[in-house]
Amino acid sequence: MANIRDVAKAAGVSVATISRVLNHPDTVSEETKKHVQEVMESLNYKPNSLARGLALNRSHTIALIVSDILNPKYMEIAKGVEDVAHSKGYNILLCNTEGSLEKEKEYIEIMSNRMVDGIILSNTRIDSKEIYNITQKKIPVVSIGKTVKDLFNVYIDDEEGAYEATKHLIDIGYKDIGFISGPMNQNENKEKKKGYEKAIAEAELKIVKGYIQEGESNLNGGYITAKRLIKKHPNIRAIFIANDLMAISALDAIKSEGLRIPEDIAIVGFDNIAMSALVEPKLTTISQPIYKMGLMASRMLLEQIETPEEDSPQQILLQTKLKVRESCGYHSGVKRIFD
């Protein structure tokens, strides 16, 4: 309601003074400062941040663009982002692309014009050239989970993780190992496929094309794809699944076929979302520091916003780790079957 001019009038000072007590309190005398503050209080004055944003060309808002708001992984990232952003007085504009490249571009464009101070992209499909094309390099962008040459990012080595997962199954003794992947138009999944194939090749097992099945990266996709894979290839005894969300529903799909996990089919997932430790059997998975990635990305972004430097993009590689639980059968002695 009340604007800065009202306050100025009521306090008998100029608007500049009001602005000063707000933004540079030390440049104004103790006396007037106190008086102004009282008047602000009594008028219940709150500065309009739109106007402030216009004047400063800064909105204290950052955009977080994710491909699936319903995937706990992205929400854990979001929490990390929000935690540091909020502590520094920034707010989060949440954008859900549903894996669509179109929507992703659309959002990046909307966001640049909405004058967000920066953008965090999570598992994006777009490449840096296009991004810069849209943002005109006017605002910083950091990407989570994808290695893009000239973009700030925090990521993991998807190929390495997938390799580890597959190798673990091989080490246990499995030979016919399937791979359930998310959409191959996401870089993440291409990398995982590479890792899977590398492990298979290294063990001198044969790479069967049909062993690799692609589905949507959600519960439904995992269920459908798992059913398809085990029906087409009943000889498969182990499956590496590209993400835990798909893996969790794959568990259900496999059980619904009357098969036991890990006795009949062993499973290794990827991500280590909280739920993975709560399904039955508990999911063996490649754990990645999801929350931390959100934190770090957020910090990187805010740093660029507050102290812009024309450095070459910073790239932070975080480590994945095999988390052995039950679904791979390692502990339960399935291993002995092969000994």
Partner DNA sequence: TTGTAGGCGTTATCAT
Partner DNA sequence: ATGATAACGCCTACAA
Binding site for a second copy (CB under 8 A): 1, 44, 46-51, 53-54, 59, 61, 64, 69-70, 72, 75-76, 78-79, 82, 86, 91-96, 109-110, 112-115, 136, 138, 219, 248-249, 251-252, 255, 274-275, 277-280
Q: Evaluate whether 242 touches 166 at the Cβ level (below 8 Å).
A: no
Residue 115 or 203 with smaller CB distance to DNA = 115
Instruction: Choose the contact partner of 20 out of DNA, a second copy, none; CB within 5 to 8 A by kind.
Output: DNA
When CB distances are held under 5 to 8 angstroms depending on the partner's kind, the choice from a second copy, DNA, none that residue 110 binds is a second copy
Residues within the interface to DNA (CB under 7 A): 3-5, 12-20, 22-24, 27-29, 31-33, 45-48, 51-52, 54-57
Mark residue 11 as left, alpha or beta (left: phi above 0; alpha: psi -120 to 50; beta: remaining): alpha
**Nearest in space to 68 (alpha carbons), one of 96, 108, 94, 93:** 96
Binding partner of residue 13 among a second copy, DNA, none, CB cut-off 5 to 8 Å per kind:
DNA
32 binds, among DNA, a second copy, none (CB under 5 to 8 A by kind): DNA
- Which pair of tokens denotes residue 270? 């990827």
Beta strands in 232-320 (DSSP E): 238-241, 266-271, 284-287, 315-318
Give CA–CA dist 297/320, Å, rounded: 17
How many Cβ atoms sit within 10 Å of the Cβ of residue 128? 19
Cis peptide before 262 (omega within 30 of 0): yes
* Nearest-approach distance from CB 13 to DNA, in angstroms: 3
CB of 34 to DNA, least distance (A): 10
Polymer length in residues for the chain? 339
- Distances in Å between the Cα of 267 and the Cα atoms of 158, 313, 319 are 18, 37, 21
**CB closer to a second copy, 83 vs 202:** 83
Q: Residue 327 CB, nearest distance to a second copy (Å)?
A: 12
Closer residue to a second copy in complex, CB, 278/337: 278
Using the structure block, give the residue that is written with the tokens 């059913």. 227
Q: How far is the CB of 197 from DNA (least distance, A)?
A: 49
The option from DNA, a second copy, none interacting with 4 (CB < 5 to 8 A, set by class) reads DNA
Compute CA distances 330 → 91, 167, 273, 337, whole Å. Answer: 45, 13, 20, 11
Distance in Å, CB of 298 to a second copy, minimum: 13
Which amino acid appears at position 295 of this protein?
Answer: L
Q: Which is nearer to DNA, 37 or 96 (CB)?
A: 37
